[in-house]
Amino acid sequence: MAIRHFLTLTDLSPEELQAIVDRAIEMKALHRQGGAGEPFRNKVLGMIFEKSSTRTRVSFEAGMAQLGGSSLFLSPRDTQLGRGEPIEDSARVISRMVDIVMIRTFGHNVVERFAAHSQVPVINALTDTFHPCQLLADIMTYQEHRGSPRGKVVAWVGDGNNMCNSYINAARMCDFTLHIACPEGYEPDEDVLAAAGDRVKIFRNPKDAVSGTDWVATDVWASMGQETEQKEREKAFKGYLVDHPLMAHANKDAIFMHCLPAHRDEEVSSELLEDESISVVWDEAENRLHAQKALMEFLLESH
Ligand code: CP
Ligand code: NVA
């Protein structure tokens, strides 16, 4: 049987995605009741981080520990990856020693090349192009607060980045409409957009994009690796702040998400981020833990 990887949301069927989200909600409840046993006993997760992380590292490590497994933090600074050992060789070696691998890196082709040479499931923990683990948590969070996102209208305000591309894939998988407000030159990936068809629409004015939506999300204007573009991006994204006046154009019960870390009063106002009647960002962050436990269980079982 072919090894299952999770490099983008579309590596799952819509039914598999729904089952993982439902299981994540169950895992969260079991955790609150004292635990979900030790299904990952003797299992080892290899975690390769070529970029910084708080949520992703803590959620994967804590998730493995909670279910009886263990994890290895591998950074290019202390492995041969940083000294130029090819990703293909690293994949062949590491995957003979661990049961599952997650990678956070720059080029999406790095996770694809690793997966092509891996004997065990590989999870994309963020590349320049996609951040599918975050979308598992975001979909779970919407379902917990408002029920199924199917048929809803979602707004993405800001950069057409890795998160935006994953929202486009989520629109396909969960069957919702997605409005993207981004400045010219900061559009999402053309192929990802084309594959989603007319359920995704691009806007230039955030107000138009947010009007009549049920769920509004944003992210930083300069992602990891784009730090030198910060000033130029601040100019390009002027007017793209998500705040209470912008949220007033959304539907009455609309909720706000941000994958975090946030730049307060840049892409989102402090007031909105802290307004827990609209902003569900802390639940969203916590749900990374349970969504990834459900994902790893699915991948380990299908292996
Ligand atoms: N949202 C997210 O992936 O956060 P980290 O960069 O802290 O892992
Ligand atoms: N778009 C951001 C997401 C961080 C979780 C980045 O890639 O830096």
- Per-residue confidence (pLDDT) for residue 1, from 0 to 100: 72
Please name the helix (run of DSSP H) or strand (run of DSSP E) that holds residue 203, with its range, or none.
Answer: strand 200-203
- Per-residue confidence (pLDDT) for residue 87, from 0 to 100: 97
Residue (of 177, 167, 164, 186) closest to 212 by Cα position: 177
- Per-residue confidence (pLDDT) for residue 170, from 0 to 100: 99
Order of all β-strands in the sheet with 70-74: 70-74, 44-49, 100-104, 122-124
Asked whether this complex has an ipTM greater than 0.95, the answer is: yes
Q: What is the pLDDT of residues 124-178, one digit of tens each?
A: 999 999 999 999 999 999 999 999 999 999 999 999 999 999 999 999 999 999 9
Atom of ligand 2 nearest to the CA of 226: 8
Query: What residues of the chain score a pLDDT lower than 50?
Result: none
- Per-residue confidence (pLDDT) for residue 265, from 0 to 100: 98
Q: Which of 220, 230, 292 to mutate to test the pocket of ligand 2 (most atoms within 8 A of CB)?
A: 220
Give residue ranges with CB within 6 A of ligand 2: 126, 131, 161-163, 219-220, 223-224, 259
- Contacts of residue 62, defined as CB under 8 A and 6 or more positions apart, other chains included, come to 289
**CA-based diameter of the chain, in Å?**
54
- For residue 79 the two structure tokens come to 């492995």
Q: What is the pLDDT of residues 278-296, one digit of tens each?
A: 999 999 999 999 999 999 9
Q: What is the pTM of this model?
A: 0.98
Continuous H helices in the chain: 14-32, 55-66, 87-94, 108-116, 132-146, 162-174, 190-196, 206-210, 230-236, 244-247, 270-274, 281-301
Give residue ranges with CB within 6 A of ligand 1: 53-56, 126, 134, 259-260
Using an 8 Å Cβ cutoff, are 178 and 200 in contact?
yes
d(CA 92, CA 99): 12
Instruction: Specify whether 33 is catalytic.
Output: no
The ligand minimizing its distance to the Cα of 134 is: 1
Instruction: Specify whether 230 is catalytic.
Output: no
Q: Which of 47, 49, 56, 162 to mutate to test the pocket of ligand 1 (most atoms within 8 A of CB)?
A: 56
